[in-house]
Structure 1
Amino acid sequence: MAEQVVQRAPKRGIWGWMLFDFAQQPFHTLIITFVFAPYFAAKVASNPAEGQEYWGYAAGIGGAIIALTSPILGAIADASGPRKPWILLFSILGFIGCWMLWYATPGMGNLGFAVLAIVIALVGMEYAAVFNNAMMPTLVPRSELGRLSGSAWGLGYVGGLISLVIVLGFLSASPETGKTLLGVSPLFGLDPATHEGDRASGPLTSLWYLIFVLPMFLWTPDVSRRGSATGAVRRGLAELWETLRTLPSQRSYFSFLLSSMFYRDALNALYSFGGIYAAGVLGWPIIKIGIFGILANLTGAVGAWIGGRADQRFGPKPVISVSILILILWCVTVISTTKTEVLFMTVAAEGSGSTLPDIVFYIAGAFIGAAGGSIQAASRTLLVDQVEGDKVTEAFGLYALSGRATSFIAPFAIAFATAWFASEAFNLSTQDAQRLGVTPIVALFVIGLVLLPWIRSREYKPAEA
């Protein structure tokens, strides 16, 4: 497949596109992983197991919506042309959903409102990313996509890190001491007793996104309109049907969608339930989980940057393979760690206060962050290798479909498994029910790795570093 000639976008247009990742990463860092998710499980729900269960339902519902509609909207966007109007539409939805999380108060009897807010935020933010990703191949030549994607992911992790420091250092305080991680009282008179600092992660994510997504809208060039809206719908649906009809015969493209469906689903589940797991199994408070998040974001930024350079030198597929192996190893380590065990071996007595499990969990988080940043950046460039330039948004729509087709199954599986193991039939502790509930993550990583050999990466001459 010959490399498509792409006229380089202005430097500020490239920076504007990269800042989208910077703008959106706090949603994943604050809401999905390190602050709101564990707060939801530990304080909003009646117990951590129920919190993990309902978080799984929310992620599953949002994933199902994205899976069923993203390829259609992607094909329509390719037929019509511009991506920014779609990004704007879903950005508004994501902004509203994140802001609604402020009203998820501790011990609220009905979790339906919180679940609805999570679903709205997830759909809005994920869809905005689909259309932003589709702009990537129009900005630089193919030989530079790996470095561009890796640099953008790295910048995103920096955004997540800064936002996490703001929340932990100035907003979220311990109910016992009334002080934040930096030892100061929360800004704006936020009440530690009602966890207003943790809940403020929702509005902060909304405002952060609003500010830092603006350069993309103002500076990054968009493709020109290709036809009327009515014609675009008809053409888009026709082209999507043709793609789906012939997809099984496109072995590399089909294999990539299948492989990424499993390993990205596993990674998303690991991110979504990692903080919840730490809160329930290790008994970590939000501030301690936040420190874990700071470390994971630091290594994620480094991993994405290194992965982007490795992608440019060796291609994206080797980067993805190595990253999956690292994730499998450290995911097993996480599952095997409790307050008293490491690698399923007892290392301390209950209540002894041993720090070894905490240290192991921190190390695991560092490696998971680095491998996660690398694999996500490389996946974007490997997808671009599978399609022609006029099919990119449709491809990212199918990419979202493949990522979400099992992403609603994995959270549901974790939710059902957690509820099952927490039932009276097994007579397990809440902590053991949580451990067993997340074990499908490892199997998903393995399946994704097994499917990689059937994927081909485009041959290209690497750009000079």
Structure 2
Amino acid sequence: MKREGTMADTAHPGMVQGISIRKRIWGWYFFDWASQPYNTLMLTFIFGPYFAQTATAQLMSDGMTQQAAAAQAQAWWGYGLTVTGILIAVLAPVLGSVADSTGKRMPWIWLFSILYFIGAMGTWWSAPEAFNPVLVLAFFGIGMIGMEFATIFTNSYLPSMGPKKELGRISGSGWAFGYVGGVVALIIMLMLFQAGASGKTMAGLSPLFGLDSATKADTRIVGPLTAMWFLVFMIPFFLWVRDEKNEPRLKYRFGKGVTDLVQTLKNLPGNPSLLAYLGSSMFYRDALNGMYTFGGIYAVGVLGWSITQIGIFGISAALSGAIFCWIAGYIDRAIGPKPVIVACCLIMMLTALLIISLTPTSVLWFAVEDGSALPDQMFYLAGILIGAAGGVLQSSSRNMLTRQGNPERMTEAFGLYALSGKATSFLAPALIALVSDITGSQRLGVTPLVFLFALGLFLLLWVKPDGEPET
């Protein structure tokens, strides 16, 4: 049941605690700018593929074939993300409920920002000569937990950023701004640090600070770069975004937070549209995360791409995401988020099928000449589609939640949203890991994503565009 009287549904004040709404919105945008490199550089385009390369080389040195080692490395990455996803799923709704019960979100954002910084910085200790997959995955998981939880709390500020009809545009613009941040960080990485086969960066320079490509320091620097980027660009967020004074200021009581959460879960069947949406997004966001997580690893293992090639792929995907998120924000405002979500899920399903069909000698399951550039070109096209449809899907999804959830319990709603996204977040990595293990094929390992997108689309049939009517 929705309640009236929230800022999203009334005339929005020009100031919040002495800070103009324009500054507040830009401060909120800067979280996306600051945090996006963990997805762009760490998860998808630089560190994830580096982990796969290094783990594959280690396994091959122990006697595995290249194909089996690549599949096993993909499985390790999947299992690591599975553990991280389960931890997030268990804690997200509880912490969200506690934050709503106290009216204090900012201290939690500080805490998880620290975890983000520690985790990203810690991945520096992943040199090939002393590579410990468990330690590397632990640091990566700490940073990802920090990013995911900080995102839950910052997303919950969205309804206070403007009138309800403007939230789609604001969300889309914020996501586009974040993508631009990811692009800039990725370009800096490729131009100043990442050495190619020649030993020079894309700008023709030796890696900055004398980083040695023999120890992969030129690649491992991506962790400290991501950490420092976050540290610097979170400053506008902490300066311009505040908890609102009219929120309750209770002591942190986990018991009350858990009690409120249990009551919310009991009430979910009475809000079938929200329940269906949480179920739908659970599957399609899980599939989307699988696309992000394994795209670069797939390019390394199946197409034999270098880290630099994957970086260029990432730039094209992120630029596509920035452009289309900004455009789709206005489409979302005009027609609402649900049609946008449906279109994006269909595009992602077709893109997943395209990726599965690609090998160095085939496109759409048809053979091509050995050495043909077409498979690489089609994978670049897939990256552009993933960037565009994936970014828009996430932006419209968080706006959709503002239409489905209780405005007075919005952090809890985003906690439940995180739970729905993480309750099965182990599913895509686990299924990919399992199928990769069973078949010994990275390419076939990606097939479960198609079915997860289809499940998400099916459950959207029960989602009302504007949520259940207010009572």
Q: What is the TM-score normalised by the length of structure 2?
A: 0.92
Q: Which amino acid aligns with 2:338?
A: K
Amino acid in the other structure paired with 1:410: A
Q: What is the Cα deviation at residue 271 of structure 1?
A: 0.2
Partner residue of 1:119? 141
What are the equivalent positions in structure 2 for 1:61-460 lying under 5 Å apart? 61-106=83-128, 108-174=130-196, 176-224=197-245, 226-230=248-252, 232-349=253-370, 353-422=371-440, 433-458=441-466
Q: 1:38 aligns with which of 49, 68, 74?
A: 49
CA distance in 1, matches of 2:275, 2:88: 19
> Unpaired runs of 5+ in structure 2?
59-68
Deviation per residue, 1:74-115 (Å, 9 max, x gap): 000001002111110001011000000001112545311101
Residue aligned with 2:9, SS:
coil
Note if contact 1:44-1:105 (Cα within 8 Å) is conserved in structure 2: no
Which amino acid in 2 is paired with 1:167?
M
Q: Is the 8 A contact 2:156 2:414 kept in 1?
A: yes
Distance 1:102 1:110 in 2: 12
Specify the code of the residue in structure 2 equivalent to 1:15: W
1:348-389 superposed Cα distances (whole Å, 9 cap, x missing partner)? 23xxx2111011111111111100111110001100111222
Deviation digits for residues 384-432 of structure 1 (CA, Å, limit 9, x no counterpart): 111222110000000000000111122122112211212xxxxxxxxxx
Q: Give SS of 1:177's match.
A: coil
Instruction: Provide the aligned length of Structure 1 versus Structure 2.
Output: 445
**Residues 254-294 of structure 1: per-residue CA shift (max 9 Å, x gap):** 00000000000000010000000000000000000000000
CA contact (8 A) 1:44 1:107 kept: no
- Opposite residue 325 of structure 2, the aligned amino acid is A
Q: 1:18 aligned to 2:29? A: yes
Q: Distance in 1 between matches of 2:131 and 2:193?
A: 25
In structure 2, C-alpha distance between the alignment counterparts of 1:372 and 1:307, rounded to whole Å: 12
Q: 1: CA distance between counterparts of 2:238 and 2:150?
A: 12
Identical positions, percent: 48
Task: Name stretches of at least 5 consecutive residues in structure 1 with no aligned partner.
Answer: 423-432, 460-465
Q: State the distance in 1 between where 2:254 and 2:213 align.
A: 50
Q: 1-side partners of 2:170 and 2:123: how far apart? A: 33
The structure 2 residue matched to 1:4, chosen from 2, 9, 27, is: 9
Look up the equivalent residue of 1:313 and give its one-letter code.
Answer: A
Q: 1:166 and 1:234 mapped to 2: Cα distance?
A: 46
1:342 CA drift (Å): 0.3
Q: Quick one: structure 1 residues 333 and 8, their matched pair in 2 at CA, closer, same or farther if it must change by over 3 Å?
A: farther
Following TM superposition, by how much is the alpha carbon of 1:234 offset from its aligned partner in structure 2, in angstroms?
A: 3.4
Moved more, 329-338 or 42-51: 42-51
**1:4 alignment partner AA:** D
Alpha-carbon distance between aligned partners in 2 of 1:117 and 1:221, rounded to the nearest angstrom: 30
Please say which of residues 44-53 and 326-335 is displaced more in the overlay.
44-53
Instruction: Give the distance between the partners of 2:419 and 2:166, measured in 1 at CA.
Output: 26
Q: CA RMSD in A?
A: 1.5
- The answer on whether the counterparts of 1:41 and 1:50 sit within 8 Å (CA) in structure 2 is no
- Mean Cα deviation higher: 141-150 or 105-114: 105-114
Does the residue aligned with 2:234 lie in a helix, a strand or coil?
helix
Distance across 2 between alignment mates of 1:413 and 1:108: 29
